[in-house]
Each structure stands twice: as structure tokens, then as C-alpha cells.
Amino acid sequence: MRILDKFRTIKASFVRGYRTLKGKLYSGVSSVSSFNSYVPERLLIAPHDLRTADPIIAQEFYSGHYSLGGITIDAQGKSPFIIKAENQAWEKELHGFGWLRHFTANQDTLSDSHARALVRDWIELSSSYSSIYTWEIETASKRLMSFLKHSIVLLSNADADFHYLFMRSLGRHVREIKRLISTAPEGMPVLCGHIALGYASICFTGNSGSIFTDTRKFESALRTQILGDGGHISRNPAILPELLAELLPLKQGYEAIDLAPPAELVNAIERLLPALRFFRHGDGTISRFNGSGVTKKDLVATLIRYDENLGTPVRDAVHSGYQRAAIGNSSLIMDTGTPPLGELSETAAAGALSFEFSNGMSTLVVNCGTPAKYESNTSQVWRTTNAHSTAILNNASFARFENPETVSSPLSGQLFTNNMKLEYSRQDTDTSSTITAAHEGYVRDFGIRHQRSLTLDRDGERLYGQEWFSGPDKGEIKYTTRDKVALRFHLHPDVKASLTANGETCLLETRDGEQWRFDCPGFQLELTESIFFADLPAPRTTWQIVINTKAYDNPEINWALQKILAT
């Protein structure tokens, strides 16, 4: 064994020597083969960071308090990069370095020095105190983009030693991301890696914009993931502003160095901008479907300014699986698609046929949304059908979630729907819009099909709903004790609600003092507590209107939400 170990040591030494020699020989060659030793000499540009910065956060970092991922950790004089936090969102944000923007906003020498010190600290500790997220592809890609966006602050007045360490780290990032991208999970991890490599292509010297990223693969990823209507293949609306915040500076960077941006990059941005407005309510928030939660309103407002064609968003997002009706000051957004499959479903929810409704600056009916911080993508309550404004049968979601707490599986957190059927249609007139959709997610377990029709009319001041429950293929429901229906309407936390004496009407009042009423003749309404997860700094308690019945006894339910006009 000793002879074998010695042979392995000699072989490893030979390989290292060969790689070092190869790196020296090809250090001046612009080719993929030089990645193992590539250290850029200088940077051409520093792309813009479109996210809002707060200099106070940089000052808090200086005092050792790191507020990331929804929590604050006191480093107590230690480097934050040796802290093993229980909160994965905190670690991901720390190692993603998006917080560098707060140092750039400070615009003083002390802040610049502190930023350099933190980056140096990370570079020197990243091997011995590596977090499991350090080289996770999304985190590494975000870190590379942040390093490049804030390179002016980091390199201004930097000594030669830091300059070399930093540039060598940039080269390592390119190498690692290219390695990770081949095995990255489907969806955003792959796309994020391509975008980061695109940043390297336009920022590093001595290349033509195609050395560090395969433009064809990048464009292919954009075509695959950014759908024809501008939605993302994951069906998560929250991804749209995050993508635009990276793609817009990338496009500007190409133009800054007099290179034509890839055609699919331009096309993707042109599709994403109107899609962002499609999902946006009057209060500036993004609708809460399939992983969407807290909206970064300042970022969304910044991105909207880049949309030169501020027309009416499309009504039918057929590729993404959503419908929108906008009349007067009201907006109705409905989920008319099936959940994505495989790795793309890790943030998806069982919310088919759910809807959100807003009027002006007030949002009335919502889904519970995804909280700003959480520890896994497993079957959390906010992903269940119960957390959506739709019908749920026998208190069971129509989809199953793979849970790593009970099953050790690479499928952890994925959603399974048994290939359920879903169909929809819409009818628009000059004064109204009607969206009708049906799904058979409950057919296998309960033999029941749910169909919903929503009509927005009267200048957007009346929303009329019809619910039908039938057997498969619209047949009759077979009598069973397992056909309990709970029709849920989750209310925004800013909405006050109270039931009238007969229990068939619920009076609503928005934060602006406007009055609405929810009626469901022939049914007793219940007003029960709910949780609005998509809020900061923590989820808020709210209310939900619930109609409990049996599908066999009441296969049709009619309800209306209408504004009470001032007399």
C-alpha cells in the first residue's frame, strides 16, 4: 500500500506540474483551454447594479451585524465567513455578495476599504471554511456578477496583492461555473450560470465576447426558459424581476464595449418586461403564484422604466398558464395552468384555478404566497391548495410533495400531479371578461372535477364567480362521504372583514376606506384566520372567507364580490 500511495503522490505531482506548465504556455491564448490558469489583467467595464442600495446596511456590517435572509447575526468580532448559520437564506446571501451594493452607495474611503477587507477575507477563507453554498452554482454566479458590478469600489486604491487575489478569484469563478453548469439543476441554476459567464465575457480584457460563455448555449437556455409570453418555465412570477435585474445590465454592457448583444438576449428582455406588468397589481406587488412571495417594489418600479411600450399587458399568457382581466381600476389574475414537472416544480404550488383580485392600490383577494425566508422546498403549508384562493376537497391538496424529512431522495421538494388534465377558455366583450377553467386533479382520489368561471364587469367593480363540481368528463358525481368542499378566499391583511347577521354576506373595507361586499346566496359563510406569508419582516395574520359544503349536495355555487358605491 505504501508503494501504491507513493506512486499516487508522484502521479498527482506530475499532473499538477503539467497543468502549471500548460497554463504558462497558453496564458496568452484566448481559448477555453486556458481557463485552468486564466487571470484577467484588467476589467473593461463595471455593469450597473439596478437593485436599491442602503448605506446604513454597510454601516451595520462594519459594526459586525449582518442582516441577511430575514435575520440578523452578530459576528462578535469574527469573520462572517466562518459562521455556520442555521438559516440557509442567510448563508446564501452572505456568500452571494449582493450586499456589496450598499458599500458602493456609501461612497467613502473607509467603506471601500471595508468592502475590500471582506472580499479578501472570503477569498482567503473560502477553502478552509467553505460553506456548502460557496460553490453552489446560483450563489457562485451571483457572487461573480456582484464582484464585477462593484469592481470599481473594490479595485480603486487597492494594493497590488489584493488586485492579483481578486483577479485570480474572478478567473477561478469562471472555471468553476463552467464546470458546475454541465450538471446544474434544470431552470434558473443553469440560466444564472450562463448570465454570469456572459458578464465575464464583456468585462474581461482580451476577448470577443464569446470566450467564457458559449453564446449558442446561452441563447438556447434563454429560448427554453423564457416562454413566448415572457413568463419563466418554472411558472414563478417572482423570477421575472430577478432575471431582468441581471439581463438588462448585461445588454447594456455589450453596447458599452461596442458589441452587438446576442439576439435572444434582446428578445428575452422584450418578452420579460410586459410579462412583469402582467403579474403586477395596482399596489405594485407581484401576484403570488408558484413560489412568488414578497415583492421588491423598488426593483420592480426601476425595471418598469425600461419598458418603452407601456401598453396594456397581454390578457392570455397561454404559455405560462395564466389569465388576466383588467377593467377600470381592477385587475384579476387567475392560474389556468398545470404545475411544472421535475426540478422545475421545487417552488411550485398546488394552486390551479386560484386567483388574486385588486382594485386600484388595494388588493382584496390573494394567495398566501411564499415567505421571505424558509429552510427548504418541501411540502410547506404555503405550497398546498389550502393556501390558495380556490376550492379544496377533503382538506387534501390535488398534488403530492416529495418530503426529504421522510424520504431520502433527489426528488426532495418536487411536486407530483399524476398528469392531471386542465382546460380553459375566455370570452371578452367591451364591458366584461369571463375566464373559465377546469382541472381534474381530484379525479383519481375522489372522482370529482372542479370548474370555475370568473366574470369581471361593471367597470371592474363587480366580480362574479361560478363553481361547478362534477364527475370525470363532466359526468354525475357518485355519492360518497369523501366529497367535502372548502371554497377559500384569502383576504389581504389590509382588508377588514365582518359577517352580516344572516351569514350569507361578508362586508369588506380596504385600507383606503372603500367598501366591498361578498355574497353567496344560500350558503353560510365562515370568517376564519389565515396567514399572509408574503410580507416583511414576517408573515401576517389575516382572514379568509370559507364556504363549506359537499360536492354531491351542492354541485354549483354562485358568489359575487362587488363594490359598495357611496350614496
Residues 166 and 233 in one domain: no
Residue 372 lies in a domain: yes
Residues 275 and 400 in one domain: no
Of 330, 337, 335, 345, residue with least CA distance to 415: 345
Bridge partners (DSSP) of residue 392 are 486
Residue where a domain stops, chosen among 280, 302, 320: 320
546 in helix, strand or coil? strand
Sequence-separated (6 or more) residues with CB below 8 Å from residue 35: 171, 174, 175, 178, 212
Residues 210 and 300 in one domain: yes
Residues 232 and 292 in one domain: yes
Residues 134 and 208 in one domain: no
Residue 115 lies in a domain: yes
Q: What are the Cα distances from residue 337, in Å, to 295, 320, 395?
A: 22, 7, 21
Residues 223 and 300 in one domain: yes
The DSSP letter of residue 107 is -
What's the pLDDT at 212? Answer: 59
Residue 1 lies in a domain: no
Residue 550 sits in which domain range? 323-563
393 in helix, strand or coil? strand
Domains in the chain, number: 3
Burial letters for 363-395: b for 16+ Cβ neighbours within 10 Å, e otherwise? bbbbbbbbbbbbeebbbbebbbbbbbbbbbbbe
Task: Give yes or no for residue 52 having a pLDDT over 50.
Answer: yes
CA distance 355 to 15: 60
Residue 26 lies in a domain: no
Task: Give yes or no for residue 93 having a pLDDT over 50.
Answer: yes
Task: Give yes or no for residue 342 having a pLDDT over 90.
Answer: no
Residue 32 lies in a domain: no
60-64, 124-128, 467-471, 542-546: least confidently modelled range: 124-128
What's the pLDDT at 403? Answer: 63
Please, what is the average pLDDT of the chain? 87
Residues 303 and 451 in one domain: no
Cell 379544496, located at residue? 392
Question: In this structure, are residues 315 and 426 in contact, taking their beta carbons and an 8 Å threshold?
Answer: yes
Q: Copy the grid coordinates of residue 40.
A: 484577467
Could you report the per-residue pLDDT of 2-48, keeping only the tens digit for each?
A: 333 333 333 334 333 333 333 332 233 333 334 455 788 889 999 99
CATH of the domain at 348: 2.70.98.70
108 phi/psi in degrees, rounded to 5? -145, 160
| Residues 394, 399, 404, 407, CA torsion sign | positive
Question: In this structure, are residues 320 and 227 in contact, taking their beta carbons and an 8 Å threshold?
Answer: yes
Sequence-separated (6 or more) residues with CB below 8 Å from residue 412: 376, 377, 378, 402, 403, 404
Could you report the per-residue pLDDT of 399-433, keeping only the tens digit for each?
A: 888 764 544 444 457 888 877 899 999 999 999 99
Residues 271 and 356 in one domain: no
Residue where a domain stops, chosen among 183, 207, 226: 183
What's the pLDDT at 567? Answer: 60
Band the pLDDT of 87: cuts 50, 70, 90: confident
Residue 44 lies in a domain: no
Residues 272 and 332 in one domain: no
Residues 309 and 413 in one domain: no
Residue 518 lies in a domain: yes
Q: Mean pLDDT across the stretch 170-183? A: 93
Residue 28 lies in a domain: no
The larger pLDDT score, comparing residue 184 to residue 10, is at: 184
Bridge partners (DSSP) of residue 530 are 542
Q: Copy the grid coordinates of residue 140.
A: 457562485
Q: Copy the grid coordinates of residue 68.
A: 441577511
Single pTM value for the model: 0.88
Sequence-separated (6 or more) residues with CB below 8 Å from residue 235: 289, 290, 320, 321, 322, 337, 339, 340, 344, 348
Residues 512 and 382 in one domain: yes
DSSP labels, 330-380: EEEEEE-SPPP-GGGGGG--S-TT-EEEEETTEEEEE---B-S--S-SSS-
CA triple 128-409-440, angle to 5 deg:
135
Residues 529 and 387 in one domain: yes
Residue where a domain stops, chosen among 289, 320, 351: 320
What's the pLDDT at 535? Answer: 92
Q: Mean pLDDT across the stretch 369-375? A: 80
CA distance 421 to 440: 5
